[in-house]
Each structure stands twice: as C-alpha cells, then as structure tokens.
C-alpha cells in the first residue's frame, strides 16, 4: 500500500498539472478576447515589472490600424524596434518633420528589423485617435513603420516604462531588451538605435550594411 507521503506527493503533482492547464486555458481565452475586442493584452510574468536593458521584453498582443493582430513573440528571430509616438505631441512632430525618425525607420526595416509604432489611447478620457487619421499622419510624414499599433490605455507603454514620446526600445531576436532611449536628446537616441542595430546585425551572416541616421 502506498505510503501517505507518496500519496501526498502524487496529489501535489496532480494539483500543479491542473493549475498549469487552467493557466494555459485562461491565457488562450484572454488572448481570444483581446483579438475580438481589439484590446491590448500583456502576456507572462513581466506584465507588472518595467524591464531593464538585458531583461526579457514583455510579450503582448495588440491590434494595428488595419485591424490586424500582432504579438511580439510572433517576431522571434528578428530585431524589433518599439516606438511610442503621440501625433498630438509637439516633440513627436519635431522628430518627424526633421526627417530623422522616418529615416531611422527606413534604415532599420531595410535591414530586416521590425518597426512597431505605438499610439496610446485613453479610453477613460475619451481620447481615441482614429486609425484613418493616424495612417494619413504617418503618410504625410513619410514614415515607414512595419505596423502602426494601438496601445489601449497605454498598457504596453506602462509595462515598458515608456515615459517620453517618442520613446524607442530595441529587442533582440531572442526577445531580450537591448536598448531603451527617449528622444529628449533626439539625435543621441536615434543614433543609439542605429548603432545597436548596426553592431548586432553586423554579426549576423549575410547582414546588409546599415544606413545613416539623419540629422534631427
């Protein structure tokens, strides 16, 4: 007859497996809800912790202005640049009008990096930029992001600690945060993104040469 301790151990293992299965099911349900509602969804244990350079970047699901779902982990194996923008911000307008930010976007995407521009909303205050207006604004400024995402209530920005707009983060192909730079010093921040990508991509077989950051 099994001992009481071995029986308890088996029960504990069964409970852990059941808990894990429930967690996976809940996660799938939440993801489906996010896709259905067009909501931002953070995934994993980092949802409540602001990452530092060298930490794993928080995973998320968000919807772009075309209604397409994007998940950060879908881009595993590629460099990803996250940019927080606010088209109503004079600082953001300055960096786009100068051509510096669009030039850096084009340089990064030409190398094969993914550039995700994030526009936060505040549904409580009723501040919701319209997808068509956002796309026109980007087109007028010759912007070239891979996708223009809606960050519902700034949830993803809060998770990354994106306090300045624009604020730029570079994520490695294995999901590690490589760089975090705000554009309070625009040329230095853009150059940092370009330098990180040039150095990292230069170590990859067959990587093309990077472009030059425009003056800001």
What residue spans define the domains of the chain?
1-37, 38-201
d(CA 119, CA 207): 30
| Mean pLDDT rounded to a whole number for the chain | 74
Among residues 196, 213, 206, 182, the alpha carbon closest in space to that of 79 is found at 196
**Residue 192 pLDDT exceeds 80:** no
Give the single-character DSSP code of 6: H
CATH number for the domain whose boundaries are 38-201: 3.40.30.10
**SS3 of the chain: helix, strand, coil, percent, to 5:** 45, 20, 35
d(CA 180, CA 51): 10
Half-sphere exposure of 98 (CA within 13 A, CB side): 16
Q: What is the pLDDT, as a whole number, of residue 14?
A: 54
Q: What is the pLDDT, as a whole number, of residue 183?
A: 64
CA distances from 173 to 25, 45, 78, 181, 196 (A): 27, 20, 4, 19, 13
Lowest mean pLDDT among 97-106, 138-147, 158-167, 179-188: 179-188
Q: CA-based angle 56:57:61, to the nearest 5?
A: 135
Question: How would residue 194 be classed by pLDDT, with cut points 50, 70 and 90?
Answer: confident
d(CA 30, CA 41): 8
Question: How would residue 196 be classed by pLDDT, with cut points 50, 70 and 90?
Answer: confident
**Residue 34 pLDDT exceeds 60:** no
**Residue 127 pLDDT exceeds 60:** no
Pairing of strands 59-64, 41-43: antiparallel
Mean pLDDT along residues 31-36: 44
**Residue 56 pLDDT exceeds 90:** yes
* pLDDT tens for each residue of 71-118: 999 999 999 999 988 777 787 888 888 888 898 899 889 888 999 999
pTM: 0.71
Mean pLDDT along residues 153-162: 87
Question: Which structure tokens are listed for 113?
Answer: 């990096």
């Amino acid at each position: 007859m099994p001992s009481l301790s071995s029986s308890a151990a088996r029960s504990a293992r069964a409970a852990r497996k059941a808990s894990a299965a429930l967690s996976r099911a809940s996660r799938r349900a939440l993801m489906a809800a996010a896709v259905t509602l067009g909501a931002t969804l953070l995934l994993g244990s980092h949802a409540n912790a602001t990452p530092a350079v060298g930490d794993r970047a928080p995973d998320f699901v968000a919807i772009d202005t075309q209604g397409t779902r994007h998940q950060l982990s879908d881009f595993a194996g590629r460099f990803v640049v996250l940019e927080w923008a606010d088209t109503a911000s004079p600082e953001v307008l300055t960096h786009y009008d100068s051509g510096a930010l669009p030039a850096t976007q084009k340089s990064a995407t030409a190398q094969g990096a993914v550039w995700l521009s994030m526009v936060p909303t505040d549904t409580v205050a009723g501040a919701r930029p319209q997808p068509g207006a956002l796309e026109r604004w980007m087109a007028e400024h010759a912007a070239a992001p891979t996708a223009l995402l809606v960050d519902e209530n700034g949830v993803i920005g809060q998770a990354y600690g994106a306090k300045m707009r624009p604020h730029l983060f570079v994520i490695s192909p294995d999901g590690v945060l490589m760089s975090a730079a705000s554009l309070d010093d625009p040329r230095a921040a853009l150059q940092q993104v370009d330098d990180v990508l040039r150095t990292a991509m230069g170590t990859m077989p067959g990587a093309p040469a990077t472009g030059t950051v425009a003056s800001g």
